[in-house]
A and B are shown apart, each in its own frame.
Chain A
Amino acid sequence: MRDSRINEVVLPHLNAAYNFARWLTRDAHDAQDVVQEACARALRYLPGYRGVNGRAWFLAIVRNAAFDWLARNRPGDVDGDDAVDEVPDASDKGPEALAMRKDEGEVLAAAIAALPPGFREVLILRELEELSYKEIARITDVPVGTVMSRLSRARALLSRVPTLVAIRGSAAGSGS
């Protein structure tokens, strides 16, 4: 009975869980740890699961497991959720690292990875998992209005990426 429920509730959403954990932790190995911990928790919480939206239910567990993991292992990653005005740097190495990237696609992917967690999670849930505002609000445990404003901020930050690339491109051009 339990076996079939974990099969039905967790396994169909394992890709979504791993993708989400991978973007939250930004590391393949850490993401595996997080998903495994999330599955262990899901097994414990299954009796309380009401069978409405398995994906949102499981992703909420993955998120909590990821933030617990980050708080324990990389506390620096979860600070500074709000008040971000700058285009985030790629990795922690600053704008130079961003400028080293080859093309706009790479810069964009790096810029997403560098978004503060609160912005990154809503963007990933919306654009890659294609969830509704209501589902995202449930998973990230914030009101729908906050989901909308964080999404807007994340998109505004990312929409500046082409400009960055253009500036870097013209700088490189004049330098050679």
Chain B
Amino acid sequence: MNCHEARILLPAYGDGELDPLRTAEFERHLSACPECTAGVDAFHALRHKIRAYAPYHAAPADLRERIERMGSKQAEPPRPRRTFVAGLALGCAATVLAWLVTTALVDRIDGNAFERAVVATHVHATLGDRLVTVASSDRHTVKPWLTARLDYAPPVKDMASEGFPLLGGRIDTLDNRAVAALVYGYRDHRIGVFVRPHDGADAPVEMGVVRGFNVAHLRRSGMEWWAVSDLNAEQLRGLVTSLAKPE
């Protein structure tokens, strides 16, 4: 790869949109070219500035309330017109059909069942005010609180130095089992992290996308981490990797 090609590919590289082969070629060129390396540094410096100075506007609370009301108004059941039994039968048939169609579709295109359960659990928790039961940025508060309610001791790290302050934790259920749910913040993003014991072999980070949320999964030293967020994949991967790193 020469400098001309590298300059064309630079933005795609910086945006994480190059395939692995091109990425490797690009990085090989970088290691030999200070000029293109400076170009990549400038790209990241601009990104850093944009993210630091362009305010992220979170939805005001009253707007959120209005939208929530809009949803529940819409949910009022329609007046029944058919006879009860016929309606019930029709309703059941339609539900079963819809379920069959959506599960078949969703299985093909949208992650595996467990990933979906993880995302659904996280989304459900973000909707109400039950995201954290123990609200604390101190892992020495969060960890004992969780451990007292579980049959294992989940590792809890404070990641504030890396930009991910710990917001708290709660107990949730996955696979019908109580599991530790930690919540981290990043700007206005919320990151749900589920930690549970796992007796299989270690597995490197695997990324997935479910309903527009990024999902990261990692197994290390007998524990398993699942992280869900609308945060970008590259940062979520970094967070999970740091969380699983032995102290």
Contacts and interface: CB of A to CB of B under 8 A. Distances in A.
Most chain A CB within 10 A, of B49, B51, B209, is at B49
Given A32-B60, A52-B211, A55-B230, A11 B53 contact: no
Contacts of A12: 123, 126-127, 213, 230
Contacts of B106: 51
A58 to B, nearest CB: 8
B11 interface: yes
A15 B54 contact: no
B242 interface: no
A6 B45 CA distance: 38
A48 B12 CA distance: 33
Given A16-B230, A109-B54, A133-B15, A6 B71 contact: yes
B231 interface: yes
Nearest to A39: B67
A129 to B, nearest CB: 8
A32 B74 contact: no
B47 interface: yes
A16 B59 CA distance: 8
B72 A109 contact: no
Given A12-B126, A14-B59, A127-B47, A55 B54 contact: no
Interface in B181-209: 188, 209
B11 A18 contact: no
Given A14-B64, A51-B102, A108-B50, A6 B230 contact: no
A98 interface: no
Interface residues of B, number: 48
Contacts of A9: 211
23 contacts: A8-B211, A12-B123, A12-B127, A12-B213, A14-B59, A14-B64, A15-B58, A15-B59, A23-B57, A32-B60, A36-B67, A43-B74, A51-B110, A52-B211, A53-B211, A54-B211, A55-B212, A55-B230, A108-B50, A109-B54, A112-B50, A130-B235, A151-B15
Interface stretch (A67-75, A85-93, A152-160, A167-175): A152-160
Contacts of B66: 36
A61 interface: no
Given A40-B70, A109-B55, 4 more contacts: A4-B75, A15-B59, A104-B49, A152-B11
A52 B103 CA distance: 12
A61 B120 CA distance: 23
A117 to B, nearest CB: 15
Contacts of A40: 70
Contacts of A17: 59
Q: Which 6 A-B pairs have the closest CB atoms?
A: A3-B75, A55-B212, A130-B232, A18-B59, A105-B53, A6-B71
Given A18-B60, A39-B67, A158-B50, A52 B109 contact: yes
Interface of A: 1-4, 6-19, 22-23, 28, 31-32, 35-36, 39-40, 43, 50-57, 104-106, 108-109, 112, 123-124, 126-128, 130, 132-133, 148, 151-152, 155, 158-159
B46 interface: yes
Contacts of B32: none
B132 to A, nearest CB: 16
Contacts of B21: none
Nearest to B58: A15
